[in-house]
């Protein structure tokens, strides 16, 4: 019986180790970028180039803040207009998901398809920024970062906001 | 229950559970970065670990799913699937306790939000199927071993 369980455990370990190895090899580049901080290091700009029009990149606060301070990206608020009016990241433009078609012209006027865009909404549970990112990618925008902490994290960090009631 | 009927039911459960895991794994393999975002939303792991988990867990899911479908090393595979489901249930429960309103990230990333309660109930179902397969003895139908 003991031998049986030893063998079973060994089989489980082999399956898991094999799967993990394949996963690591398959995503080797992504993991290297994440490990070396390239995904969060704007000095080397790999996040900007890594998006490559194929996928959107989740961006942590530290990166988003640096892009904001260096004015290297345009911030896009994907929340409803009324929520935007109650407070948003300073300088962000409003493109609520439901008004995508009408607001796209404004965005086109301010940007090129290569302009880095940081999309955000109401934090980790909110998917509007990702959905908006998919639409923008379909429209040809190539450099899309999803700031998943969103407005709540930004505000909590004491970073510049506009329109917020005291 | 007749032994034959029992074997057919077990085969159906095995292939059903395998298909779910293969599907869940392949969806996430196709977009590891988005899945890393879902993992990050649980706010448990440090930055790099989110990517490591997002790069590997979908492969464990997909390979276990495939092995269950073809019926190879079913006991070991269903054991892994049961362990993973237990882990998922604990993680989902932690989001409820911590008041995190996030998508479970179980299948397609960035789609409609699945609440933690729904995901927990679903995982309990998968867990019970996995444990049934894990504890089943005797000959198997439509299985390589």
pLDDT tens digits, B45-101: 877 888 899 999 999 999 999 999 999 999 999 999 999 999 999 999 999 998 877
pLDDT of residue A44: 34
> How far is Cα A1 from Cα A9, in angstroms, rounded to an integer?
12
Interface of A with B in 63-122 (CB under 8 A): none
Query: Same domain, yes or no, for A99 and A126?
Result: yes
A37–chain B nearest CA distance, Å = 8
**Cross-chain CB nearest to B103 (options A35, A55, A125):** A125
> How far is Cα B82 from Cα B76, in angstroms, rounded to an integer?
10
- CATH number at A72 reads 3.40.250.10
Structural domain including A21 reads: 1-35
- In total, how many domains does chain A have? 2
In-domain check, residue A23:
yes
Chain B: residue whose CA lies nearest to A34? B48
Looking at every residue in chain A, the average pLDDT score rounds to: 83
> How far is Cα A29 from Cα A49, in angstroms, rounded to an integer?
14
Q: Do A125 and B37 touch (CB under 8 A)?
A: no
Q: How many cross-chain Cβ pairs, A to B, lie less than 8 Å apart?
A: 103
Query: Same domain, yes or no, for A3 and A21?
Result: yes
Contact B65, B18 (CB under 8 A): yes
More confident residue, A52 or B5: B5
pLDDT of residue A39: 60
Query: Same domain, yes or no, for A125 and A52?
Result: yes
Query: Same domain, yes or no, for A90 and A134?
Result: yes
Query: Same domain, yes or no, for A69 and A121?
Result: yes
Domain boundaries, chain B: 3-135
Query: Same domain, yes or no, for A5 and A64?
Result: no
> How far is Cα A29 from Cα B117, in angstroms, rounded to an integer?
35
Residue A62 pLDDT greater than 90, yes or no: no
| Per-residue pLDDT band at B127 (split at 50, 70, 90) | very high
Query: Same domain, yes or no, for A15 and A78?
Result: no
Residue A142 pLDDT greater than 90, yes or no: no
In-domain check, residue A166:
no
Q: Do A20 and B59 touch (CB under 8 A)?
A: yes
In-domain check, residue A25:
yes
Chain A residues whose CB is inside 8 A of the B73 CB are 11, 15
Question: Would you say the C-alpha torsion A14, A19, A24, A26 has a positive or negative sign?
Answer: positive
pLDDT tens digits, B90-116: 999 999 998 877 788 888 776 667 888
pLDDT of residue A159: 87
Chain A: residue whose CA lies nearest to B55? A23
pLDDT of residue A55: 63
């Amino acid at each position: 019986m003991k031998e049986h369980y030893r063998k079973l455990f060994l089989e489980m370990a082999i399956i898991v180790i094999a799967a993990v190895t394949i996963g690591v090899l398959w995503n080797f580049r992504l993991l290297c970028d994440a490990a070396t901080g390239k995904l969060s290091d704007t000095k080397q700009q790999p996040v900007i180039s890594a998006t490559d029009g194929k996928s959107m990149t989740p961006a942590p606060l530290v990166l988003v803040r640096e892009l904001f301070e260096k004015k290297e990206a345009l911030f896009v608020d994907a929340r409803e207009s009324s929520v935007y009016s109650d407070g948003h990241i300073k300088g962000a433009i409003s493109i609520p998901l439901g008004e995508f078609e009408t607001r796209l012209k404004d965005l086109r006027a301010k940007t090129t398809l290569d302009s880095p865009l940081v999309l955000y909404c109401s934090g980790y549970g909110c998917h509007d920024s990702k959905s908006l990112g998919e639409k923008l990618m379909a429209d040809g925008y190539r450099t899309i970062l999803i700031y998943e902490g969103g407005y709540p994290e930004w505000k909590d960090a004491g970073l510049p906001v506009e329109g917020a009631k005291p | 229950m007749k032994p034959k009927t029992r074997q057919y039911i077990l085969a159906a459960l095995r292939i059903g559970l395998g298909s779910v895991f293969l599907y869940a794994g392949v969806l996430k393999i196709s977009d590891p970065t988005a899945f890393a975002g879902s993992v990050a939303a649980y706010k448990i792991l440090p930055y790099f670990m989110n990517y490591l988990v997002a790069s590997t867990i979908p492969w464990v899911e997909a390979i276990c799913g495939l092995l269950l479908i073809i019926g190879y090393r079913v006991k070991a595979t269903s054991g892994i699937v049961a362990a993973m489901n237990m882990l998922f249930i604990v993680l989902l429960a932690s989001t409820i306790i911590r008041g995190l309103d996030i998508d479970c990230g179980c299948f397609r990333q960035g789609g409609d939000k699945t609440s933690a309660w729904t995901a927990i109930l679903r995982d309990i179902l998968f867990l019970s199927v996995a444990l049934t397969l894990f504890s089943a003895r005797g000959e198997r139908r439509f299985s390589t071993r």
